[in-house]
Amino acid sequence: MGSRSRLAGFVGAAALALLAAAAHAQNAPPAGTVVDGSLKGKTLTFVSYGGIYQDGQVAALKEFVDKSGVKLLNDGPTEIAKLQAQVESGNVTWDVVDTDDFPPFVHCGKLFQKLDLTKLDISHIPAGQVGECSVPAMNYGMVLMYKNDKYKDNPPKDWKDFFDTAKFPGTRAIDGSGSPIGGLIEQAILADGGKVDAMTPADIDKGIAKIKAIGPDTIFWKTGAESQQLAESGEADMIIMWTGRAMTAVKNGAAYTPVWKDWLVVMDQLTIPVGAKDTDASYALINAYLGKKSQEILTEQTSYSPINNEAQPKVDASVAAFLTNTPDHAKLGYQQNIKFWVANFATASDKWTALMAGN
Amino acid sequence: MSRTSHTLSAGGENARPAGTVQGPQRRLRLAAYPSLLAMPALLLLIAAMGYPLLTVTLRSFSDPAWGLQNYVWFFSTPVNVTVLWRTFSIAAWVTIVCVIAAYPYAYLMTAVGPRLRLVLILCVLVPFWVSGVVRTLAWVILLQDSGIINSVIRLLGFDGVKLIRTQTGVVIGMAQVLLPFMILPLYSVMRGIDLRLVQAARSLGARQARAFLQIYLPLSLPGVFAGAIIVFILSLGFYITPALLGGPRSTMLSTLVQSQVLSLLNWGRGGAMGVVLLVATFVLLALAAPLMRQRHKQASRS
């Protein structure tokens, strides 16, 4: 409720600081800056995951395209294997690539360029989100959604309850769309009574065993659309959902409620591939993307949280209810140990894949 | 047919008096013609199948280093072996379901009048034109716990059955997608069976069941085998249907290949999985081939 009124307060006070900020003298031009006609005759290929997300990103980049004169091509969905093939053959056609959490860390310097941070204004990006090879593209979360009429007055309150099938019977649905969900494995370890501050690869087994112990009826959904369908048809009693999908499902009438305690922080990343044709143009695109106004447009169109802390998107209450950057949501987020999961990516993936294949 | 062959031979006769030297040359060109006709398909196969297959096989031995490491990994990881076995067993179930469903349907197609036959053919072909993903999603709506089938069962006072996210659900969905590949070859073989043979058997005193088992069934077996091989092999590579209709216990090998290649960039391991599946399929077909050939001979003899 608090977030709603706060966001409603933002409505009057949108967007102007952008141009004023241009006066600042620093290495990188302030985020959102576009020099008129600077990229005339050039072409950039932007790669992301399609759907309303990429449409929103393109809308956020419209000013950049119009002013700089660049021709923006869109491609997708992002596939790291495709990028690897491009880099290995020395024919990289992608200029800026939107990826999920881990790839820029796993393949930093091999498939993704180490970023020259003097060319980007990262001063408004939320703390701790800039990697050696990536800046965030947007923030979102994975929340536990529970079915209202199943649990009535005694709903699950945290991940411990999610793993407690004795006290909270019912079908669970988990994100099985790809990479291992580090945050969920950590929560499983915690629910099992373990600790996560000094995890070892052996702990991965404990976490996975805890997830497996939920039982044979656990659903591993493969696409965001599938998770939304599970909620809208009431197939599962607790569903781990991406916030954007959770919002859409509730909008479409799914009678589910989010649990915000320790929601899992996830982000998409923006990267520049090794061997990209015109690195400076790629940097210019990313710097424009990080701007306040672009981030407001992105959030208004996609309902994902902006990664510029000055952005004040105008969204209605149903969207605001699922934004992750509102103060009362932001403080409840749980940040997975990215370093650990990147270092143990192959092991974790193999074990996660085996879990997905019923082994 | 007879008319074309007539004009062709007439042309040949006309060409002969024109010059004796031209005769053998022309015949040579005609002899080369059939293989030339196959060239476009052959080139396409080499470019789109042969070359990638070669690359995949090579990488399975060379990525990340030369050796058998990827195959050692494949057979020493329990999940791979389980899933390989499961892939074959799902494919076998799908084939059995398809044969049982397609056989009477194809027979009906040969037995009815032309108008009804057109309707039956359309019933097979129209779903064929709809994308597999769309059909699979339709199955999700039918099979899910809160879906149509379960609602009807509950309405009748029974407990719901678990269909979605089970192997049964996957087999149902895949069989529906693959059914045309069974019906069409069966129909084309059955259409060629001379029904007077069955009548003759009946007139010689065979009961209906016996006439069917001894005359009609053996004659239709080539169609069953042709359809079964197509369905079985196509089933082995299914990806979307098991992903959407299945649960962890119905994951097929294609899903594991996808996760090795697309999320882990282990091209070598992905390649090894493909090669294992391919070799296993060849071995299985080689084992089944003599059996089929024998039956075929038997059928053509009668």
User: Closest Cα partner for A190 from A203, A202, A201, A200?
Assistant: A203
DSSP state of A108: B
- pLDDT recorded at residue B26: 57
Sheet hosting strand A71-75, strand order edge to edge: A71-75, A43-47, A96-99, A256-271, A135-147, A238-242, A172-175, A219-221
Q: How high is the mean pLDDT of chain A? A: 90
Name every residue whose Cβ is closer than 8 Å to that of residue B174 and which is 6 or more positions away in sequence. Answer: B90, B94, B235, B238, B241, B242
Q: Is the pLDDT of residue A6 over 60?
A: no
Answer yes or no: same fold for A14-138+267-314 and A140-265+333-356: yes
Considering only CB atoms, which chain A residues are within 8 Å of B146?
Answer: 233-235
**Higher pLDDT pick, B10 / A300:** A300
- Return the CATH superfamily for domain A140-265+333-356: Periplasmic binding protein-like II (3.40.190.10)
Contact with chain A for residue B265, Cβ under 8 A: yes
Nearest residue, CB atoms, B264 vs list A226, A346, A359 = A346
ipTM greater than cut 0.90: no
A189 pLDDT more than 70 = yes
Nearest to B261 among A81, A216, A226 (CB): A81
Residues of B in contact with A354 (CB under 8 A): 77-79
Ranges of CATH 1.10.3720.10 domains, chain B: 78-301
Domain B78-301 falls under CATH 3.40.50.720: no
Question: CB atoms < 10 A from the CB of A48, how many?
Answer: 23
**Ranges under pLDDT 50 in chain B:** 1-21, 301-302
**A62 shares contact with chain B (CB less than 8 Å):** no
Question: pLDDT tens digit string along B53-64?
Answer: 999 999 999 988
CATH of domain A14-138+267-314: 3.40.190.10
Q: Residue B128: what pLDDT?
A: 83
Return the closest-CA partner of residue B136 out of B171, B98, B92. Answer: B171
The answer to whether residue A109 scores a pLDDT higher than 80 is yes
Residue A326 to chain B, least CA–CA distance (Å):
32
Q: Report the pLDDT value the prediction gives residue B7, as an integer from 0 to 100.
A: 40
pTM listed for this prediction? 0.81
pLDDT at A250 over 70: yes
Pairing type for strands A219-221 and A172-175 reads parallel
pLDDT at B300: 52
Quote the pLDDT of residue B29: 61
Closest CA to B136 of B53, B238, B24: B238
B57 CA to chain A: closest CA distance, Å?
17
Helices (DSSP H) in chain A: which residue ranges?
Answer: 2-10, 17-21, 51-60, 62-68, 80-89, 103-106, 148-151, 159-163, 182-191, 201-212, 224-232, 243-251, 279-289, 292-302, 317-320, 327-330, 338-343, 345-356
How far does B39 lie from chain A, in Å, by closest CA? 30
- Euclidean distance between CA atoms A129 and A37, whole angstroms: 31
- Write down the pLDDT at residue A23: 37
